[in-house]
Amino acid sequence: MNPLLSLLQPYPFERLRQLFAGVTPAPEYRAISLGIGEPKHPTPQLIKDALANSMDGLAAYPATAGDIQLREACAGWMDRRYGVKVNPATQILPVNGSREALFAFAQTVIDPSRPGATVVSPNPFYQIYEGAALLSGATPYFAPSVAERNFAVDWDSVPDEVWQRTQLIFVCSPGNPTGAVMPLSEWEKLFALSDKYGFVIASDECYSEIYFRDEAPLGGLEAATKLGRTDFKRLMMFTSLSKRSNVPGMRSGFVAGDADLIKSFLLYRTYHGGAMSPTIQKASIAAWNDEQHVVENRALYRQKFAEITPMLSKVMDVALPDASFYLWAKVPDSLGMSDTEFAKALLAQYNVTVLPGSYLAREANGINPGAQRVRMALVAETAECREAAERIVQFIQSRT
Ligand SMILES: Cc1ncc(COP(=O)(O)O)c(C=O)c1O
């Protein structure tokens, strides 16, 4: 077996199952989970119709590069959303959701024969970054994102000698779990570091359409364009329909950026078998070409977060994020509990599941930046989220 497999950490939900083993949730409450970050708003009818009406083409193998019509639809969306011009022939590739693409991209980029191959990741982070780094033969290095810096990743904490051996960095903006959006100044810093040390930037932007401020989150390619880097050198963005269009089951997204990286990634994907089904391609074209359902979806999240956040902020340190569908809340010190103890006791007493923050981060330089926090995914309908929030308030009040 590949020995690198043994380096993989259990997934947060696996750890949660172990944590909850033996806990009997209070039977008088029906179960509500804020644990998994899976969209639950209904899939728009126009996407279902496009799927149902796109059954032709299944008798042929699809091209790994995807139909040019799909890549043109993606490029059109990039222009409307970010004012960014990308060449659909050379700077875009369809992917089967951003998760597989983030993983496969690391396998394409990393040269494990170079000593000390390193991948820099935010901490806390989406666990695929770590697995992708480890299976490519690299070592992850974690840069903390903590409340004291408003959850901006502390890239300055990465020592020079680490940057020197860094081949790839993952950026997650809007962030999971913090919801923080990277400003232009931070992009400028990362581009300068990439120019100096030669590493590639993988920008995970799958929450870009769920935001709470007036201004839509800045994209990586948008930042590059603003700074005159229109060749997107060593930059790749990853986006997805999963959250934007409530279709995580469709497995559809795309990457865009540096044409040289796209070329290598296409080669890798050809062998890996990363082509997208023609049915999904056609439904994806319909989804990227429609913005109305995205506006409506965002309005639902805004309404929900506007109601739930103040309920919880009365009893715990939690604020409306810039974007994403998570609340990243602090376990009140007055409870004298760790994040895992909090999650366990909340389940036992009120049958509500939240994800312990320490499961989403790693201890680095003596601190786990996820410790004492919990992630709540407000993905269910508002009434269910409201009920969960009421129970959390009662839980905290009952313990203080
Ligand atoms: C930060 C982040 N990136 C990527 C993904 C993967 O999404 P998908 O593969 O559905 O595009 C997720 C899913 O939860 C995520 O939270």
Q: What is the pLDDT of residues 225-268, one digit of tens each?
A: 999 999 999 999 999 999 999 999 999 999 999 999 999 999 99
Residues 6 or more apart from 333 whose CB is under 8 A from it? Answer: 372
220 CA → ligand 1 middle, Å: 16
- The Cα-based distances of 172 to 62, 390, 394 in angstroms read 30, 31, 33
18 CA → ligand 1 middle, Å: 23
pLDDT digits (tens, 9 = 90+) for 310-368: 999 999 999 999 999 999 999 999 999 999 999 999 999 999 999 999 999 999 999 99
What is the side-by-side order of every strand in the sheet holding 326-330?
A: 326-330, 373-377, 355-356
**What pLDDT shows up at residue 42?**
94
> To test the ligand 1 pocket, which listed residue (127, 176, 203) has its Cβ within 8 A of the most ligand atoms?
176
CB of 170 closer than 6 A to ligand 1? Answer: no
CB of 126 closer than 6 A to ligand 1? Answer: yes
Atom of ligand 1 at shortest range from CA of 172 = 1
CB of 240 closer than 6 A to ligand 1? Answer: yes
Outline where 53-138 has alpha helix (H): 68-82, 98-109, 128-135
User: 3-class SS at 236?
Assistant: strand
Pairing status of strand 166-172 against strand 235-240: unpaired
102 CA → ligand 1 middle, Å: 9
pLDDT digits (tens, 9 = 90+) for 44-74: 999 999 999 999 999 999 999 999 999 999 9
270 CA → ligand 1 middle, Å: 22
Residues 6 or more apart from 327 whose CB is under 8 A from it? Answer: 305, 308, 309, 312, 318, 321, 375, 376, 378
- Mean pLDDT in the chain? 97
- Any bridge partners for residue 118, and if so which? 139, 166
CB of 39 closer than 6 A to ligand 1? Answer: no
User: 3-class SS at 329?
Assistant: strand
> To test the ligand 1 pocket, which listed residue (74, 126, 205) has its Cβ within 8 A of the most ligand atoms?
126
**124 prior amide bond cis, ω within 30:** yes
Determine contact, residues 359/126, Cβ cutoff 8 Å.
no
Q: Is the overall model pTM greater than 0.95, yes or no?
A: yes
pLDDT digits (tens, 9 = 90+) for 212-226: 999 999 999 999 999
Q: Is the pLDDT confidence value at 301 over 90?
A: yes
Mean pLDDT of 276-294: 98
CB of 322 closer than 6 A to ligand 1? Answer: no
Q: What percent of the chain has pLDDT over 90?
A: 100
245 CA → ligand 1 middle, Å: 13
Number of other CB atoms surrounding residue 64 within 10 Å:
19
Task: State how far Cα 221 lies from the chain centre.
Answer: 17
Atom of ligand 1 at shortest range from CA of 204 = 3
47 CA → ligand 1 middle, Å: 20
**What pLDDT shows up at residue 400?**
83
